[in-house]
Amino acid sequence: MSALKRHQDLTAIWGNEPGWRGYLRSVNHSDIGKRFIVAAFVFFAIGGVLAMLIRAQLATPRSAFVGPEVYNQLFTMHGSIMMFLFAIPMFEGLTMYLLPKMLGSRDLAFPRLSSLGWWCYLFGGTIIVLAMLAGVAPDAGWFLYPPLSGKTYTPGINSDVWLLGITFVEISAMCAAIEITVSILKLRAAGMRFDRMPIFAWYLLGTAGMMVFGFPPLILGSILLEVERAFGWPFYSPELGGSPLLWQHLFWLFGHPEVYIIFLPAAGAVSTILPVMARTRLLGYGAIVAAVMALAFLSFGLWVHHMFTTGIPHMALGFFSAASALVAIPTAVQIFAWLGTLWQGRPEMKLPMLYLVGFFIVFVLGGLTGVMLAMVPFDAQAHDTAFVTAHLHYVLVGGFVFPMLAAAYYWLPHITGRERVMRVGEAAFWLIFIGFNLTFFMMHLTGLLGMPRRIDTYPEGMGWTWLNLLSSVGGFLQAFGFALFLIDVVLQIWLGRVHRRNPWGATTLEWAMPIPSTTYNFASLPTVTTRDPLADDPDLGVALARGEGLLAEARHGWRETLAVDMTSGTPEHVAILPGNSWLPIATAAMLGGFFLMMLAGLYALAPVFLVGTVWLGWRWAWTNGTRGDVGMVPIGGGQSLPTSFEAPRTTGWWGSVFALAASATLFASLLFGYAFLWTIAPNWPPPALIPPSLVVPLLAIAGAAAAGIAVRAGRMPIVLGGHLAIVAALILLLTTTPGPSTHAYAATSAALAAYGLFHAGLAAIMTGFVMARAKAGFHSAARATEPRILRLWSDHGAGAGAFIALLLVLPGWFA
């Protein structure tokens, strides 16, 4: 078969239909990745305009440009947009685009899930921006502390926009987290052992793992606050046994890992680009992997340092202060590994390298002010001043924006297939670099002179006037720099000359393909024996295009890629990925309907959309699988493997494992809230407890035991009955629970019961699904993936349901 014929066959399988239909139905990782990047840049521009308005307001003392009402919306939206609608989606987009190409795969593990994430992001972000244009943007700070964000002090829908819109967008973050984790663990090139993975994949594995465990506390906190605002359940109201501190714990339990979730992908880009720019290999691969894992772990021990002034005991402060300083060590390991890499190589000042130098300077300064802030006595002075604003911009812009600009210039040829024109990029760099330092270095000084954050005007004669004016001038220089960057990109797309393959002489697999890349990435899949496949064989890309690798044959219209054993990279099965579909956009629209109903206060209509989502989910799952055994299929090189229809541990099974890990984290956060309020919050004990009952726990435990045993024996009707028993027990429990709006005890109890109901109910629906599928002929002795996946969800639903039923009646027994 000729390379051209193979290209045509594969394009027919992996490509999109023409026109809008193709656009709306596409699930291809390159398409979705590029959309994330473009949309994130648009939101970056919107957030940047808000920053310009803030700097215009602060340029002079006693400015009358905007009043405090508008100014509060400005800084709240600037922070929220940059964090949730720019930084996270930007790296998600870059990752979605690059990761399969770097790993030698044709797509991500769950292409439809990436598409769902994209539409959720687009719809959620649009809601937030439209609310801002309507003048009802969130105005309680990007951290949304209650009670200020609660119903009493923010009666309008401003806080609801944040809670619902951001939670909607977080669906895409959770999708991406599971997607990235499973793709890195399972969908790699043959022979790509853990220690042969590109360093970028290690960084993303750490990041995605942090997202799996970091986002659930925020999602839980947002749900609780929205329920408090909508239905008056007093989780955060001290007069009814709640505590505003609970929100701070949940928010920063997410908020600090968030900083590293943003930094690690950018650092991964640095570790990838820097050695290429220095024409050498990365120094200390193993040490960097260890540093990444240490950062991912340590960052969960730091959240309290955002709460140093909330009256936490001094010894606890000492512990968290030490932990905060400790994270500087893995960061230092990376910095010096990069310096050592430059030292051993011959660095060339090409454009991406220029941005990396900018990153070094800005980020190191930001890191050092961070260590200063980690010291409690200093933090108590500088907390909530412009010094902190300056520090966080040095870290985030230095640690994220500069590496992302380097990454943009490094990988743009891959996306456009073109060379850049003239030297616009250098001019943009100097404008951004000088503008940035002018803006934020001055803010260190105004902060030390005592200028607080979040004030809309300030008097003359405080010594802040000139510094603020300089900051504003710097801000506008930056804006010109970013505009120039955008012009540069557009020029490259329109006017750039067509570029040869692998322009930088890189050694990773994403360059072993024609640029711009094809929809299917590799005409045949590579087998790797080292960490730098292109260094061993510079013509690998040509050989792959000729069909000399694995899975070179286009057959049955299947989207095939290779799934490997996690650690050794031995080929394990052929993953057959789903094709283009209306389901992702339809599901996102259905979820959007739910969020809009909640926002509009039409609480009676909202559940309709949830039922619609379940129905779509059922149909979605129904499209997978096959009604006949496929057996072993040849993959080339004389080898044969089973397909994902018949493999024991599919990507779907692993995806369920991580989805349940995220849900369990949410559950653990809720249990933490229950215990926290019980021990710390004022106005306890509650006026009435759940009355002691033997029926509720016994029914739930019996149901859980039956489900647990039957799911292993394959007796699906009994599994279904077991879960329905748990549902009945928890509903019975809820009928005896005191009204959830009377006290935080009743509210958290009802929330726990709702969690159990959700998972037992979900397991019941999934059991019904598996029964219907078996009847329709989708299961056989070989095709047993779905019952295996059900076992995970059933066990979780049964365990959580029984545990909650028992936990909630205990206080009544002992009272």
Partner 1 sequence: MWWVMLGGSAVLAGLVFVLLALAFRRRDRGRGGERTASGRLWIGGLGLAMPVVVLLALVGYALTVGIGTLPTPDPRAVEVRVNARQYAWDMVHPGGIRTQNVLHIPAGRPADLVITSSDVIHSFWIPRLAGKMDAIPGHTNRLRIVADTPGTYRGECAEYCGVGHKDHNFTVVAHDAAGWTAFTEGAR
Q: Which of residues 54-113 bind partner 1 (CB under 8 A)?
A: 68-69, 72
**Mutual orientation of helices 314-326 and 328-344 as an angle, nearest 10°?**
10
Give CA angle at 481 (396, 76), nearest 5°: 45
Structure tokens at 479: 């804006």
C-beta of residue 235 within 8 angstroms of C-beta of residue 569: no
Q: How far is CA 6 from the centre of its chain?
A: 36
Distance of CA 307 to the CA centre of its chain: 24
Q: Which two tokens stand for residue 755?
A: 């969690």
Q: Which is nearer to partner 1, 426 or 548 (CB)?
A: 426
User: Which CB sits closer to partner 1, 380 or 772?
Assistant: 380
b/e burial code for range 368-403 (CB count within 10 A of at least 16 → b): ebbeebbebeebeebbebbbbbbbbbbbbbbbbbbb
Q: Build a one-symbol-per-residue string for 344-383: x at contacts with partner 1 by CB under 8 A, - elsewhere.
A: xxxxxx-------x--xx--xx--xx-xx--xxxxxxx-x
Out of 90, 127, 342, 696, the only residue in the binding site for partner 1 (CB under 8 A) is 342
Block residue for tokens 């027919």: 12
Q: Which is nearer to partner 1, 3 or 371 (CB)?
A: 371
**Least distance to partner 1 from the beta carbon of 368, Å?**
4
228 binds partner 1 per the rule CB under 8 A: no
Q: Output the six-digit token pair for 540.
A: 């690998």
SS3 577: strand
- Judge if the upstream peptide bond of residue 538 is cis by omega within 30 degrees of 0: no
Q: How far is the CB of 358 from partner 1 (least distance, A)?
A: 11
Q: Which C-beta is closer to partner 1: that of 402 or that of 645?
A: 402
**Which region holds residue 19: left if phi is over 0, alpha if psi is between -120 and 50, else beta?**
left
Straight-line distance from the first to the last Cα atom of the chain, in angstroms, rounded to the nearest whole number:
78
Is there binding between residue 136 and partner 1 (CB under 8 A)?
no
Provide the token pair at 119. Answer: 């539409």
User: Shortest distance, CB of residue 447 to partner 1, whole angstroms?
Assistant: 11
328 binds partner 1 (CB under 8 A): yes
- Interatomic CA distance for residues 555 and 537, integer angstroms: 28
600 binds partner 1 (CB under 8 A): no
Contacts (CB under 8 A) with partner 1, residues 139-168 = 140-141, 145-148, 152-153
Interaction between residue 301 and partner 1 (CB under 8 A): no
Largest CA distance in the chain: 82
Least distance to partner 1 from the beta carbon of 384, Å? 4
Distance, in Å, from the CA atom of 441 to the CA atom of 459, rounded to the nearest integer, reads 21
Report in angstroms how near the CB of residue 338 gets to partner 1 at its nearest.
9
Piece in contact with partner 1 (CB under 8 A), picked from 28-36, 106-114, 321-329, 525-533: 321-329
Q: Which stretch binds partner 1 (CB under 8 A): 31-39, 97-105, 191-199, 305-313?
A: 305-313
Site for partner 1 in 486-545 (CB under 8 A): none
Residues from 624 through 683 that contact partner 1 (CB under 8 A): 680-683
Residue whose C-alpha is closest to residue 184's, from 203, 205, 206? 205
Binding partner 1 by CB under 8 A: which of 297, 300, 336, 441? 336
Among residues 21, 23, 135, 343, the one that binds partner 1 under rule CB under 8 A: 343
Rule CB under 8 A: say whether 341 interacts with partner 1.
Answer: yes
Minimum CB separation of residue 270 from partner 1 in Å reads 13
**Within 10 A of 739 (CB to CB), how many other CB atoms are there?**
12
- 315/781 with CB nearer partner 1: 315
Q: Is 283 in the site for partner 1 (CB under 8 A)?
A: yes
Does 607 engage in binding with partner 1 (CB under 8 A)?
no
Per the DSSP assignment, residues forming a β-bridge with 640 are 634
User: Of 75 and 654, which has the nearer Cβ to partner 1?
Assistant: 75
Query: Looking at residue 685, what DSSP letter applies?
Result: S
| Contact code string over 405-444 relative to partner 1, x by CB under 8 A | ----------------------------------------
Write each residue from 473 to 492 as x if it is in contact with partner 1 (CB under 8 A), else as -, in one continuous string.
--------------------
* Contact region with partner 1 (CB under 8 A), list: 23-31, 242-250, 513-521, 660-668: 242-250
Inter-helix orientation angle 583-600/111-133, to 10°: 30
Amino acid at 707: A
Q: Which of 311, 461, 557, 638 binds partner 1 (CB under 8 A)?
A: 311
Q: Does 244 bind partner 1 (CB under 8 A)?
A: yes
Tell me: does residue 454 bind partner 1 (CB under 8 A).
Answer: yes
Residue 363 CA to residue 326 CA, distance in Å, equals: 17
Q: Using the minimum distance from each CB to partner 1, give the nearer residue, 281 or 501.
A: 281
Interface with partner 1 includes 326 (CB under 8 A)?
yes
In the complex with partner 1, which residue's Cβ is closer, 527 or 742?
742
- Joined tokens for residue 61: 């003392």
Q: Which of 60, 63, 126, 457 binds partner 1 (CB under 8 A)?
A: 457
Distance CA 176, CA 182 (A): 10
Give 94 or 323: the residue with its C-beta nearer to partner 1. Answer: 323
- 71 or 755: CB nearest partner 1: 71
**Which of 328/424 has CB closer to partner 1?**
328
Q: How far is the CB of 205 from partner 1 (least distance, A)?
A: 20
Amino acid at 338: W
Residue list 167-206, contact with partner 1 (CB under 8 A) = none
154: helix, coil or strand?
coil
Q: What is the Cα–Cα distance from 796 to 711, expressed in whole angstroms?
A: 12
Residue 566 lies near partner 1 (rule: CB under 8 A): no
The answer to the question of residue 776 lying near partner 1 (CB under 8 A) is: no
- The C-alpha atoms of residue 669 and residue 300 are separated, in whole angstroms, by 13
C-alpha to C-alpha distances, 372 to 291, 324, 359, 369, 601, nearest whole angstrom:
22, 10, 20, 5, 46
Task: Provide, rounded to whole angstroms, the least separation between the CB of residue 65 and partner 1.
Answer: 15
Measured distance CA(428)–CA(485) in Å, rounded? 6
Cα–Cα distance measured from residue 258 to residue 101, given in angstroms and rounded to the nearest whole number: 26
Element (H, E) at 591: helix 583-600
Number of residues engaging partner 1 in binding (CB under 8 A): 81
CB closer to partner 1, 249 vs 759? 249
